[in-house]
Amino acid sequence: MKKEKKMKLSLPEVELMNSGHMACQGCGATLAMRFALKALGQKVALCIPACCWSVIDGPFPYSSLDVPIFHCAFETAAVSASGVKAGLEMVGDKETTVVAWAGDGGTFDIGIQALSGVAERNDDIIYICYDNEAYMNTGIQRSSATPYGAWTTTTPVKHFKNRPKKDMEAIMAAHRIPYIATASIGYPEDLVKKVKKAKEIKGTKFLHIFAPCPPGWKSQPEDTIKLARMAVQNAIFPLYEIEWGEKYTLNIKLKEKKPINDYLKIQGRFRHLTKKEIVFIQEEVDKKWERLLLCVNRSK
C-alpha cells in the first residue's frame, strides 16, 4: 500500500477569527489578530481599547472572534488586562492568558503610562501592539509611532513628520521585563512562535507587530504582505527579541540589507520626499540597525 504523504502546516490549524469582520481590504491588523489567536488558542481573554480593532471586531451584538473581549477605555489596555488577570485568578481561573491588544496610538501615546505601570510591576499579561504607524481609525492622524517623513492628515506634505518614530522597544527594555519581541505579519511563522513563547513566560510580555494599512499608507491592498516583508529586509522594522531588557536576539538575519527606496516608493504617504530626505532616512535606518547589531553582539 502506498503511504500517504501528509502535508505539514507551518501554522496552527485553529481559527478563532471568523469572516464578516469590518476591516478594510488588505488590513495588516486583521492578519496580526488571526495569527496571534492561532498561537494563543481558545483559553484567552482580550482587552481592546479604542483602535481599529474596536471596529473590526464588529458592532454589538456581533463579534468576529471566538474569544471573550473587554472593550476598554483608550488609555487603559495594559491595566485593564492586569485587572482581568487578577479578577480571573480570584475566581479560580489561573490558566487563561490575558492579552492587551492595542494600536500604536493606544500604546506609544495615550496608553504608555498604564503600560509602564504594568511593566514595572511585571503583571502577568501579554501586551500586543499592532502598529500601523498612525491614528488610522480616526482617519490617519500622526502618532509618535509615525515614521520620519510620513504624510498624515495632521502632518501635511508641507510640514511632514519631522521627528523619528519613538523607540518603544528601548522604553520597554528599560523596564527589565522578561520578554519583548518585534514581529511582522509578513513573517507569520516567526510571529506565531513569539506569541507562543510569550504565552509560556510569567510576567509582562510586550510584542510589537508591524501591520501595514493601505488606506493610511496610500498603498495597494495587494502590497500589504510585500510591504511588511520589505520593512524587515531593509531594516526599517527588524525582527528581534529582548529578554530581561538585556539579551538581544536577531531573528531574521539579513545577508544583504536592502535599500529603503523601493519601500518608500510604493507608499503614497512618502511620495513628497526629496532625494535629500530619503538619504537622511536611509542614514537613520543604518544607524539604528548598527545600534541593534551592537546590542545583539554584546548579548552573545
Partner 1 sequence: MKKVIMGNHALSYGAKLGRAQVIAAYPITPQTQVVELLSEMCADKSLDAMFIKVESEHSAMAACLGASLAGARTFTATSAQGLALMHELLHWASGGRLPVVMGNINRAMAPGWSIWSDQNDSLSQRDTGWMQFYCSSNQEVLDTVIQAFKVSEKLLIPSMVILDAFTLSHTYEVVDIPDQKKVDEYLPPFNPSIKLTPEEPHAFGGLTSPEHYFELRYKLQKEMEKAPALIEKTGKEYEKMFGRYLGLVEKHRCDDADLILITSGAMGSTARIAVDELRKEGIKAGNLRIKVFRPFPFEIIRNAVKGAKKIAVVDRNISYGHHGMFFEEVKSALYGYSDGLPVFGFITGLGGRDITPSTFKEITQYTLERDKPKEEIIWIGVKL
| Residue 39 and residue 192 in contact, taking contact as beta carbons nearer than 8 Å | yes
Q: Which is nearer to partner 1, 52 or 295 (CB)?
A: 52
Q: Which is nearer to partner 1, 87 or 259 (CB)?
A: 87
Cα dihedral across residues 220, 20, 190, 129: positive or negative: positive
Q: Which is nearer to partner 1, 112 or 296 (CB)?
A: 112
Closest CA to 100 of 56, 45, 181: 45
Distance CA 123, CA 200 (A): 14
For cell 511632514, the residue is 160
Q: Which is nearer to partner 1, 45 or 236 (CB)?
A: 45
Query: Contact positions toward partner 1, by CB under 8 A?
Result: 42-45, 47, 54-55, 57-61, 63, 65-73, 75-76, 79-91, 93, 96, 113-114, 116-117, 120-121, 123
Q: Which is nearer to partner 1, 70 or 289 (CB)?
A: 70
Closest CA to 77 of 58, 57, 99: 99
Shortest spacing between CB 48 and partner 1, in angstroms: 9
DSSP states along 137-203: TTTSB--TTSPTT--BTTB-GGG---SPPP-HHHHHHTTT-SEEEEEETT-HHHHHHHHHHHHHS-S
List helix spans (H) across 70-149.
77-90, 104, 112-121
Shortest spacing between CB 43 and partner 1, in angstroms: 5
Shortest spacing between CB 168 and partner 1, in angstroms: 18
What is the CB neighbour count within 10 angstroms for residue 252?
A: 16
Shortest spacing between CB 160 and partner 1, in angstroms: 32
Q: Which is nearer to partner 1, 69 or 293 (CB)?
A: 69
Shortest spacing between CB 125 and partner 1, in angstroms: 10
Shortest spacing between CB 239 and partner 1, in angstroms: 29
